[in-house]
Each structure stands twice: as structure tokens, then as C-alpha cells.
Amino acid sequence: MQKLRRGWSPIIASRNRTRPNPAMPNKVQMGTSFEQNKAEPASGVPTRIEYGLTDDAWSGFDEYLKELVLATGSRTICELGAGANPALAPDFVQAHGLDYVILDISAEELAKAPPGYRIRVQDIAKPLTGVRGTYDFVFSKMLAEHVKDAEVFHRNIHALLRQGGTAFHFFPTLYAPPYAFNLLLPERLTHWLLSRMQAGRHDSGKNAKFPAYYHWCRGPTRAQLDRLESVGFRAVRYAGFFGHPGYYKKMPFAERIHRALASSLLRHPVPWLTSFAYAVLEKK
């Protein structure tokens, strides 16, 4: 990997391999960024790798998503695992003439979403039947960690996208301690613990807890980028975010220490220690 480059450049690594694409948005505040060794990944096009703080990933998500949709000129869009909380509002969809479908394995979760969305009930980790190559843009927020077979998941997304289409995922990453514990401890115990730590995490609400496996949920490690390449994607941009302060809301002192550690990781990034990631992928 190249030396760390401090600060922020508005130019995103080229999507057409010859010149930078200034249209790609760059709004999320991420303090440190670096590009990987130019020789990697296998496609020869460097992935733009950046780091930031988790608070910025959450507060910047909606804006970043909308900018990405517009900057890629996408019209046909599918959100996977949208459940109770579709990420694009109906007025944005209408204003830009988008064809937006929300998909989820659970009809019950989709029923909690506001009215006015086109819905599709489907398990995205099962081999796909029907529509293929139809979408310009497929994305997910807090879904990837819940999918048991990550390879089938990404292959299905690849099949759903048209050539050159964009996939975008926002997900928690190992080896952040809360997710490592969530993986290792029994589901009933983590369910109970989470309900104690965070208000509103009950099954009938809009932020229910689902079993998580964290397959292919890592920060911007070489192995993670290679896995995505192996199913036919090029990682255009991969952002790793440090910290998970939401788990310390009831422990202000622990939260302060945690935030200091996250800031220190931002100054000295370790891709295995991120807590969340954004992955922007292009179908090759």
C-alpha cells in the first residue's frame, strides 16, 4: 500500500481507467485517505480507500446515497433488505423519475415501511430467478451482515445489475468488538444485551435485531477486495469507519475513551479494526 496521504481529495479513482471521474461524490467527512498500490487489485485500477469516523458514516449516508445515484446517472434502482426503512424517500424518487423497488426476505418487515413503494419479497441469498441485468444501481444498508451466503449474495447482485452498473453497501465490519461478540455469543443473549443498551430495538419496531453472520463484512483489506473481484466486481471506492459509540450511550466515560481510540485509529488506520464500511462496486 502507498504511503498515507493526509487530507481529502475531491477526485475519485477513475471508472473508465483513463481519467479521474469528478462526478463521483465525496461528501462524507473522512479524515484520512490513501490509494492502494497502483498494481492492485487484479484489474489494475486502484480502489480509492478512505477512512472516517462512524458518526460521519451514519449522518452522511442519505446524502451520499442520493449523490451516488445521481452521479452515476442511475434510473432503475433496487434496495435489498430495505425492510421497514427504505433509504430513498418517495419525493426524491419522483423528482428524479426513478424506478425504485424495495426488496426484503420478510413481508412483515416490508409492511412496516411507509406506503407508496414498489415491493418485492425475496431471499437475496438464494439463487435468483426472473429479472436479470435490469438495474443500474443496487444497494443495501445494514443487510450484508445478515446474509448467510455472501458469495451467492454478491453474485445475485452482479446478475441483477446491467454491465457497468453500481452496487453500494453500508454494513458493520469485523473485527469490531460488538460484532465479534454478536457472532460468538448465543443469539438470545445478544438480543437481550442489545435491548438493554439501545432503546427501540424490539421485534415489533422498525429497528428489530436480526441474526448476523458478518460473511464478507470486513474493512478495506486486500482479501476483502479480492473476494469482491472474484465475483466480477471492481471496488471503485471502499471506506472504513472507526468506532461504534452507539453502544456506549449509557456509559459516558467509556464513550469518551472509545471516541479517543477511534480518533487515534483514524490517524493510524488499521483496516481490520474498522466498525463499518461503505463499498462502492462496479460490475465489470
Ligand X SMILES: C[S@@+](CC[C@H](N)C(=O)[O-])C[C@H]1O[C@@H](n2cnc3c(N)ncnc32)[C@H](O)[C@@H]1O
Q: Near ligand X by CB under 6 A, which window of 67-75, 105-113, 213-221, 241-249?
A: 105-113
Contact 8, 30 (CB under 8 A): yes
- Minimal distance, residue 266 CB to ligand X, in Å: 24
- Minimal distance, residue 111 CB to ligand X, in Å: 11
The C-alpha cell at 182 is 454478536
Interaction of residue 92 with ligand X, rule CB under 6 A: no
- Cβ of 199: how many Cβ atoms within 10 Å? 11
The residue among 154, 118, 123 whose CA lies nearest residue 138 is 154
Alpha-carbon span 263 to 208, nearest angstrom: 29
150-160 vs 222-230: helix axis angle to the nearest 10? 50
> 221-229, long-range: CB within 8 Å, 24+ apart, which pairs?
221/271, 221/272, 222/40, 225/36, 225/40, 225/41, 225/47, 226/41, 226/42, 227/150, 227/151, 227/154, 228/154, 228/279, 228/281, 229/41, 229/42, 229/43
Pairing of strands 161-172, 135-141: parallel
Alpha-carbon span 252 to 284, nearest angstrom: 46
> Which one of residues 50, 56, 104, 282 is an interface residue with ligand X (CB under 6 A)?
104
- Minimal distance, residue 87 CB to ligand X, in Å: 7
Interaction of residue 85 with ligand X, rule CB under 6 A: yes
Interaction of residue 244 with ligand X, rule CB under 6 A: no
Which single residue brings its beta carbon nearest to ligand X? Answer: 83
- Judged by CB, which is closer to ligand X: 63, or 226? 63
> Which one of residues 82, 167, 262, 279 is an interface residue with ligand X (CB under 6 A)?
82
Give me the phi and psi of 178, to 5 degrees please: -60, -35
> Which one of residues 50, 109, 229, 282 is an interface residue with ligand X (CB under 6 A)?
109
> Which one of residues 92, 210, 213, 272 is an interface residue with ligand X (CB under 6 A)?
210
- Judged by CB, which is closer to ligand X: 45, or 105? 105
- Judged by CB, which is closer to ligand X: 43, or 85? 85
The C-alpha cell at 87 is 433509504
**Contacts to ligand X from residues 110-129, by CB under 6 A:** 123-125
- Judged by CB, which is closer to ligand X: 147, or 228? 147
Alpha-carbon span 44 to 101, nearest angstrom: 34
x/- site string to ligand X, residues 137 to 176, per CB under 6 A?
----xxx--xx-----------------------------
> Which spans of this chain sit near ligand X (rule: CB under 6 A)?
80-83, 85, 104-106, 109, 123-125, 141-143, 146-147, 210
